[in-house]
Structure 1
Amino acid sequence: MPNYQEVYQEKLCTPVEAIKLVQDGDFLVVPTGVGEPPALLNALSEHRREYKDVKVFQILPLRRFGYIDPETVDHVRHVAYFLGGATRAGAQEGWIDYIPSYFSKMPRMIEDGLLTVDTVFTICSPMDEHGYFSISLATDYTMAAIKAARTVVVEVNPNVPFANGNCLVHISEVTAIVEDDAPLTEVGLPKIGPVQEAIGKYVADLIDDGSTIQIGFGAIPDAVVMQLTHKHNLGIHSEMFGDGILTLIESGAVTNRSKNYLPGKVIATFALGTKRLYDFMHRNPHVEMHPVNFTNDPCLAGKNDNLVTINASIQVDFLGQCCSESMGSTPYSGTGGQSDFVRSANRSKGGKSFIVLPATAKDGTISRITPTLTAGSAVTTSKNDVNYVVTEYGVAQLQGKSAKERAQALIAIAHPNFRDELTAAAEEMNLL
């Protein structure tokens, strides 16, 4: 048996030494969220002016590292598949590039050469006795990127859980290793107010015992989770594993016993939570982390009977078209996995997909239910895919409904202050 510890020591280096493996013109891939390796990205940031035309691809950075800088984009430039607080302003100002994509398609796009990969930086668990590291916090597109890359640098952190699933990378696939023991980024449950709580109750009332759940990120999806603790035999097949799902497991509501596809397992592609979550994942046989083209594939996720998917949106028009990623033509977030899981629920026997949103924005001055989407809006969930739309004023079930019936149902869950105005618009459009 090879002496993997000797190989480990041979590949061990400092972050500054490791970033020298990046070449001018490289496409550098970094995992989602907590999977981003801070020691490597801080070193790259400090030395960014030494490079030319390096592009860093990532779906959702949690921290604004130094290289995310409009003054140095000719040296190192961020390219986003999804926008968050660290990158939104840069994309809106034009110095951060944005690539639209279904989350589920990203590994295939890497495999087909549509997304170029030269180098991968990723955080990982310590190596086991067989020479494997676990890319547990962000398996997503990272595994496909590692297979395609010329250079793979792993940042070993003892706080990273060693999780099961298709998330293991062998030391023979690794070019260089750096070590860091910084605490992992923690993202707790968002603040839940009365609007979120009301929406959560409407959704929770429509979720049956034995359902399999996918939960998106945000206050409203988590408000749903908080009202499911009295349910029985729920299962989890999701892209994100967060503290909300962990709360359901600890309450006994999630057992995964009723799942007919991968029973007994929590299935996810990335983790975003607190130390409590990361500790729970460590060598837990009931948790499996898999690439996103597995977790989010509608043909696979839809094998789960009674699959319930819950995702937030920004605006919904009378036909049921959902814009969940832009403010008109101004980019705000991204497609992510919403479309993947709406379609998964549509394929599932007994499945239900919920699009959730407050009825208004900007302190009640703007209705999120609108006759048409704002000009330039990106359609995230199409009129043919949408099923349930939920605000704090009720539930509109749209599948099988005519355009007139959809308009009526959506006006009924709009804020009362806007219903007359929306009704007049529907009449002008010959929908009422």
Structure 2
Amino acid sequence: MNFDHNWQDSFRAMVKSPKKALRNVRSGQRVFIGTGCAEPTVLVDALVARADDLADVEIIQLFTKGDAPYARDEFSDTFRINSFFIGQNVRSLIQEGMGDYTPMLLSDIPQLFNSGRLPIDVALIQVSPPNQQGMVSLGISVDIVKSAIENASLVIAQVNPRMPCSLGDSQVDVDDLDILVPVDVPILEREVEPVHPISREIGRRVAELIPDGATIEFGFGRLDDYGRVPHATIEFLHHKKDLGVHSEMITDTILELVKSGAVTGSRKSSDRGRIVTSFCLGTRKLYDAIDNNETFSFRPTEYVNDSRIISQQKKMIAINPAREIDLTGQIAADSQQGQLYSGIGGLIDFNRGASRCRDGKSIITLPSTDPQVTRSNIVPHLSEGSGVVVTRGDVHYVVTEYGVAYLHGKSIQERVMALISIAHPDFREKLFQQAIEAHFLRPEFSEIGHAFFIPPDKNLRTTRLLPDGSQIDLRPVEPTDESGMRDLLYNLSEQTVYHRFMSRQANFSLQQIHQFVYVNHRHETTVVASIPEAYGEHLIGVGKYLLPEKGSRAEITLVVRDTWQNKGVGTMLYEYLAELAIANGIIGFTAKVLRENQRMQIIFNHSGHKVTSSFNQGMYDFVIDF
């Protein structure tokens, strides 16, 4: 799209100065201001300059990145703020009750305008200069701006040659505008913030959930002092293949991801090969990259945030931040402890769309605590004044810096176990007791709280290959493994049960299952071997060693699911446990093995360590020295 350099002559009747243009605003009107970095700052300043002549003007916005001079105390009688998303520039005003916040799904806002339920008198927007066909581009912010243009009685456009020409569905006929105000000023920019270490760790964990060929949304909500947690994921995606992007917002971080070759969009179900978004917050570098670039497709919110369109993608991954979650899975995202902070935005749109699509994942991220580590963001009940944005029935993945919890379809007890496991260790004991007091857990669970209070080392997870090439994940057992452990034990053959437990038992008590799962990491180590499934992990083996209070050798036991026996899983579990034991100063293992259990005898005898054994009453006693 090439600009018509003579456009001011072509549309002379529409051209006005900022001062003359804003004379058309009257008291009592509702004025829409363009979004984010596309805020028409010259028009805003001209509006504020008329403050003494106006009264009761309602400012409607999604959010803006400028200084928001209309939000200053001295203009409280002239301008009233009504924002769909609470940005930093108006947050204090709204928290003090001097401005309004309208909680809305982002996808619903255009219909709010279209229906006439929220009439717009004046829209202040920013566009590129017209081309030879009389079309302007909305540039870096299409979102709800296009709907505002269609529904406003008067549209005043700040026409700026520095506005990039975005492609997609971002063009507007100049005849749909009423007043053109020529300017030549810098477009607002937003530098990429340094990634907080906690955000980086959350991003790393989220990236592990994203497969090749996935289409990703990066939510634009944020937690103060932590930056935009979803965007912290991007640095861990550079090695992925054929990723796509369908996201309400993009930032400069997308450029490095594209440069790495990870983003091709070649497997997208729609808009193949294109990065679909509705607005961007970035620097001139991003704006220049967007300009006339067919790779980027800027579309209105009613398309980008339509959950039906989102759900049509294959492997749609939605990543959105929250402020607080209770132990049953209710999520507060726009508020906390009586304070309004942000907005609903596209969280629900993408949460629903991604969870309904084939192989999709909806991921909620949040740091486990506030920055001062004085308050847990995982709580037994949402704090007073924290509004539910995602219900407990809609939540799927929750990720903190301590791990991943999958909640959808899980019981309250399973949710409690999963969420305490990813809470900050300083708060786990209290959360555990509060869960028992709230009757989320049975009273007898008070005996196994140590499994939460002393978490395993998060760096012990590893991935290894079996001789046949199968990829196996090895890690310490977690409290959330109870159902998986129950499935493993009850699917063992009678022979395997006899070899492991030295009995013909057909049933396992709750206490026996708990002994595998709820481990005191000071004295014992239990590890599991698993393979990934669509919604979690499938346990195929478990190994354990227990160190006596007075002793330097630990007793080891292993069991492998029958369908995975004779493939090297038992050997892999043994080697992994031996590595952990040696690192912890243990000098060796002991084990009791039935004469019939030849597989276990082979594992120990071929361990590569010094092995001695004695036979007594149908059983071998092994002593293994490292």
What is the TM-score when the length of structure 1 is the normalising length?
A: 0.97
Selected match of 1:258 from 237, 247, 267? 267
Mapped partners of 2:294, 2:201: distance in 1: 35
**Pairwise CA distance, 1:382:** 1.5
In the alignment, the residues of structure 2 paired with residue 297 and residue 227 of structure 1 have an alpha-carbon distance, to the nearest angstrom, of 28
What is the alpha-carbon distance in structure 1 between the residues aligned to residue 51 and residue 240 of structure 2? 51
Report the 3-state secondary structure (helix = DSSP H, G, I; strand = E; otherwise coil) of the residue aligned with 2:172.
strand
**1:158 alignment partner AA:** P
The CA distance in 2 between the partners of 1:431 and 1:62, in whole Å, is 43
User: Do the aligned partners of 2:38 and 2:188 also contact (CA within 8 Å) in 1?
Assistant: no
Query: Residue type matched to 1:310 in 2?
Result: I
Tell me by how many angstroms 1:51 deviates.
1.0
Where relative contact order (Cα < 8 A, 6+ residues apart) is larger, the structure is 1
Deviation at 1:329, TM superposition (A): 2.0
- Which of 426, 432, 440 aligns to 1:431? It is 440
* 1:248 match: 257
Alignment of 1:54-93 (within 5 A): 54-93=57-96
1:357 aligns with 2:366: yes
1:80 maps to a residue whose letter is S
Instruction: Kindly provide the CA deviation profile for residues 17-76 of structure 1, in whole angstroms up to 9, marking residues without a partner as x.
Output: 110111221111112111210000011112112112211101112122322123322222
Q: Is the 8 A contact 1:4 1:130 kept in 2?
A: no
Secondary structure of the residue aligned to 2:201 is helix
Q: Offset at 1:412?
A: 0.2
2:202 corresponds to: 199
Q: Is the 8 A contact 1:315 1:370 kept in 2?
A: yes
In the alignment, the residues of structure 2 paired with residue 51 and residue 353 of structure 1 have an alpha-carbon distance, to the nearest angstrom, of 46
Alignment correspondent of 2:236: 227
Query: C-alpha separation between the residues in 2 aligned to 1:190 and 1:317?
Result: 29
SS of alignment partner, residue 270 of structure 1: strand
1:33 match: 36
Question: Does structure 1 residue 419 correspond to structure 2 residue 428?
Answer: yes
| Deviates further, 322-331 or 4-13 | 4-13
2:353 alignment counterpart: 344
Which residue of 320, 323, 328 maps to 2:332?
Answer: 323
Pick one of 45, 48, 51 that aligns with 1:48: 51
Distance 2:398 2:159 in 1: 43
The residue identity in structure 1 corresponding to 2:430 is E
Distance 2:69 2:268 in 1: 44
Q: Which amino acid aligns with 1:144?
A: S
- Residue 177 of structure 1 aligns with which residue? 180
Aligned to 2:163: 160
Q: Can you list the C-alpha shifts for 1:279-336, whole angstroms capped at 9, x where unaligned? A: 1111111211111111001001111110001111111111111111112221111111
- Structure 1 stretch displaced more, 59-68 or 155-164: 59-68
- Which letter does structure 2 place at the counterpart of 1:413? I
Correspondence 1:250-399 to 2 at 5 A: 250-399=259-408
Q: Distance in 2 between matches of 1:126 and 1:149?
A: 20
Alpha-carbon distance in structure 2 between the residues aligned to 1:219 and 1:362: 14
Query: Which residue number corresponds to residue 583 of structure 2?
Result: none
Q: CA RMSD in A?
A: 1.4
Identify the range of structure 1 (59-68 vs 313-322) with the bigger mean alpha-carbon deviation: 59-68
Distance 1:117 1:104 in 2: 18
Q: Identify the residue that residue 110 of structure 1 maps to in structure 2.
A: 113
The 2-side partners of 1:234 and 1:398 are apart by: 26
Contact 1:102–1:336 (CA under 8 A) maintained in structure 2: yes
CA contact (8 A) 1:164 1:288 kept: yes
**Further displaced range: 252-261 or 63-72:** 63-72
Are 2:334 and 2:389, in contact at CA under 8 Å, matched by a contact in 1?
Answer: yes
The range that moved more, 58-67 or 317-326, is 58-67
Q: Which has the larger radius of gyration?
A: 2
CA distance in 2, matches of 1:24, 1:142: 23
Contact 1:126 1:133 in 2 (8 A): yes
Q: Distance in 1 between matches of 2:319 and 2:135?
A: 34
Deviation for aligned residue 1:95 = 1.2
Q: For 1:386 and 1:316, how far apart are their aligned partners in 2?
A: 10
Amino acid at match of 2:98: W
Contact 1:64 1:87 in 2 (8 A): no
Query: Which structure 2 residues correspond to residues 71-150 of structure 1 after superposition, within 5 A?
Result: 71-150=74-153
C-alpha displacement of 1:5? 5.2
1:338 CA drift (Å): 1.0
Aligned residues: 431
Instruction: Show structure 1 runs of 5+ residues with no match.
Output: none
Deviation at 1:411, TM superposition (A): 0.2
In the TM superposition, residue 7 of structure 1 has moved relative to its aligned partner by 4.0
Distance 2:338 2:394 in 1: 22
Equivalent position of 1:8 in the other structure: 11
| Separation in 1, partners of 2:165, 2:384 | 46
Counterpart of 1:214 in structure 2 is 217
Identical columns (%): 37
> Which of 62-71 and 94-103 deviates more?
62-71
Report SS of the residue matched to 1:354. Answer: strand
- The one-letter amino acid paired with 1:395 is V
Task: Show CA shifts across 1:122-172 (max 9, x none).
Answer: 011111111011112211111111111111111111111111122211111
TM-score (norm. length: structure 2): 0.67
Residue type at the aligned position of 1:117:
I
Unaligned runs of 5+ in 2: 1-5, 221-226, 442-626
- Bigger drift between 71-80 and 397-406 goes to 71-80
Alignment partners' CA distance in 2, 1:347 and 1:25: 44
Measured against aligned partners, the alpha-carbon deviations of 1:191-239 in whole angstroms (never above 9, x if no partner) come to 2132111111111011000000001234321210111011110001000
Contact 1:26-1:55 at 8 Å conserved across structures: yes
Letter in 1 for 2:147: A
Is the partner of 1:237 in helix, strand or coil?
strand
In 2 relative to 1, CA 82–65 (structure 1 residues): closer, same or farther, beyond 3 Å? same
Amino acid at match of 2:392: K
Q: For residue 244 of structure 1, what is the amino acid of its counterpart?
A: T
CA contact (8 A) 2:189 2:283 kept: yes
The aligned counterpart of 1:188 is: 191
Structure-1 separation of matches of 2:149 and 2:203? 39
Alignment partners' CA distance in 2, 1:349 and 1:78: 41
Instruction: Give 1:400 deviation, angstroms.
Output: 1.2
